[in-house]
């Protein structure tokens, strides 16, 4: 017995030795991958959605109005709760729920989206300032570089998969309606639910937004390069669209490895940027409390501010820095600067003629008593006075007497709003153009094709 006891004890002691050694050697386990994940994970949002199935063609009414649960991932891009994800994650959903790394959950609202580039901005109202994802660049990616995909794979929240960059500049056609250009290809496992989540490098910086997988293939996934995505994000966060304010600054993102700058190309004559003294060639370093490296940062700095609010801006001008004061104006103030917003009757007629040609409908201002649409959540709208038989508007359900309250991400309160949409340089990229109309007390929506 004694010998057996001693032998067992020796075995136990021998087994304990590696444990003691491992406790003293934990630093070897903290690899660059571990550190990268630790840096980025707090800024990942797990998205769960619910939408109503389209069973309009079903023979059995019992199957109608079925609810479908979906999943995806998002990236926190602003501490106030703005999150970027893929448009297909939020397309047509009835509700969105976002869960963060710490387990806190929030209802989310869709703020804006770009169907063509498959990106969308959603927002949650958190009671605290959120962690923003560290931003990298896709300008200097290397084949074979280690990358990590983080996301809500198959509903398993905060899943991590690792791999490498397999190829760059891939063009991928998913179906007849969706195609992508210039994607990153990776062999890090990307699964349903990873869409919209970050592809990060070993510095824990986001360098891509996971977007697609190759059906029937293993370990072939794709991500939108972050530099491309940030240009679209800047448009989706445009203060002109979201806050109805205007800064009058036109700039360019310059990204090449460690060089990341937002450079002023021009300012609109007599607009807020020009009045602040911003000049062509200025590199905007900081706006308010936001350190600026691209247009998306600049829009973030201006977002949520009211007309007349002042934003201190620091720029690099040549070899020196300069501080200027930018005072935002209301978007309607663009009329006095000779922009595309117009106010005379001939321009109103021109906008109506263009809408008739494009969509087969004419519009009129609401009587003053109806401008605020009392009892609705809309500030106003335009009444549909005529609908062309078999035109796009008629074929997509718009009727005479409807009140058009929105197109794409913009409200349609005035002819100026309508003109802005009709003459938008990227109008074709919005096709099909989503519309919202009031019919009685009911809000209806649909899509109009843009053919011109």
Positions marked catalytic: 88, 118, 195
From CA 414, how far away is CA 348, in angstroms rounded?
Answer: 9
Helix (H, G, I), strand (E, B) or coil at 81: coil
Residues whose CB is less than 8 angstroms from the CB of residue 137 and which lie 6 or more positions away in sequence, other chains included? 205, 207, 226, 227, 255, 257, 260
Taking Cα atoms as reference points, which of 309, 287, 312 lies closest to residue 298?
Answer: 287
By the 8 A CB rule, do 315 and 341 touch? no
> Element (H or E) spanning 354, and its range?
helix 345-359
Taking Cα atoms as reference points, which of 340, 334, 313, 343 lies closest to residue 271?
Answer: 334
From CA 338, how far away is CA 274, in angstroms rounded?
Answer: 14
By the 8 A CB rule, do 171 and 179 touch? yes
| End-to-end C-alpha distance for the chain, whole angstroms | 94
Residues whose CB is less than 8 angstroms from the CB of residue 128 and which lie 6 or more positions away in sequence, other chains included? none
By the 8 A CB rule, do 75 and 197 touch? yes
Taking Cα atoms as reference points, which of 187, 184, 198, 292 lies closest to residue 247?
Answer: 292
By the 8 A CB rule, do 284 and 299 touch? no
By the 8 A CB rule, do 263 and 255 touch? no
Residue 363 burial by Cβ neighbours in a 10 Å radius (0-12, 13-18, 19+): buried
By the 8 A CB rule, do 433 and 411 touch? no
By the 8 A CB rule, do 78 and 125 touch? no
- Token output for 183: 């994607």
CA max distance for the chain: 108
Q: Given phi > 0 = left and psi -120 to 50 = alpha, else beta, which region is 440? A: left
Cβ count near 89 (within 10 Å): 26
């Amino acid at each position: 017995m004694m010998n057996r006891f001693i032998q067992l004890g020796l075995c136990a002691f021998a087994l304990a030795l590696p444990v003691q050694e491992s406790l003293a050697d934990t630093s070897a386990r903290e690899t660059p991958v571990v550190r990268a994940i630790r840096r980025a994970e707090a800024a990942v949002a797990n998205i769960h959605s619910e939408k109503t199935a389209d069973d309009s063609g079903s023979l059995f009414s019992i199957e109608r109005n079925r609810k479908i649960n979906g999943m995806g991932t998002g990236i926190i891009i602003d501490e106030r709760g703005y999150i970027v994800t893929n448009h297909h994650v939020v397309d047509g959903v009835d509700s969105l729920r976002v869960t963060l790394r710490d387990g806190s959950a929030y209802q989310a609202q869709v703020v804006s989206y770009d169907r063509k580039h498959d990106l969308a901005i959603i927002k949650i109202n958190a009671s605290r300032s959120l962690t923003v994802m560290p931003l990298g660049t896709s300008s200097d990616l290397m084949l074979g570089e280690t990358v990590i995909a983080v996301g809500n794979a198959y509903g398993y929240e905060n899943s991590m998969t690792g791999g490498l960059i397999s190829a760059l500049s891939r063009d991928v056609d998913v179906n007849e309606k969706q195609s992508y250009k210039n994607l990153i290809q990776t062999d890090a496992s990307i699964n349903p639910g990873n869409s919209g989540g970050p592809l990060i490098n070993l510095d824990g910086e986001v360098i891509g937004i996971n977007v697609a997988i190759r059906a029937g293939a293993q370990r072939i996934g794709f991500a939108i390069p972050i530099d491309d995505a940030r240009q679209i994000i800047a448009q989706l966060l445009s203060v002109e669209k979201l806050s109805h304010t205007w800064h009058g600054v036109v700039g360019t993102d310059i990204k090449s490895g460690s060089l990341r700058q937002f450079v002023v190309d021009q300012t609109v004559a007599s607009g807020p940027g020009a009045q602040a003294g911003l000049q062509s060639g200025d590199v905007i370093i900081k706006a308010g409390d936001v350190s600026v490296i691209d247009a998306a940062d600049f829009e973030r700095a201006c977002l949520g501010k009211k007309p007349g609010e002042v934003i201190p801006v620091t720029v690099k001008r040549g070899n020196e820095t300069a501080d200027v004061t930018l005072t935002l104006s209301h978007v309607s103030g663009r009329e006095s600067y000779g922009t595309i917003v117009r106010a005379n009757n001939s321009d109103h007629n021109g906008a109506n003629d263009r809408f008739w040609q494009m969509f087969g409908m004419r519009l009129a201002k609401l009587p003053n008593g109806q401008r605020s649409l009392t009892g609705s959540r809309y500030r106003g709208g335009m009444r549909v006075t005529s609908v062309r038989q078999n035109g796009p508007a008629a074929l997509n359900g718009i009727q005479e007497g409807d009140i058009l309250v929105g197109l794409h991400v913009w409200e349609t309160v005035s002819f100026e709003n309508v003109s802005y949409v009709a003459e938008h340089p990227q109008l074709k990229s919005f096709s099909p153009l989503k519309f919202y109309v009031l019919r009685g007390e009911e809000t209806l929506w649909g899509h109009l094709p843009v053919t011109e």
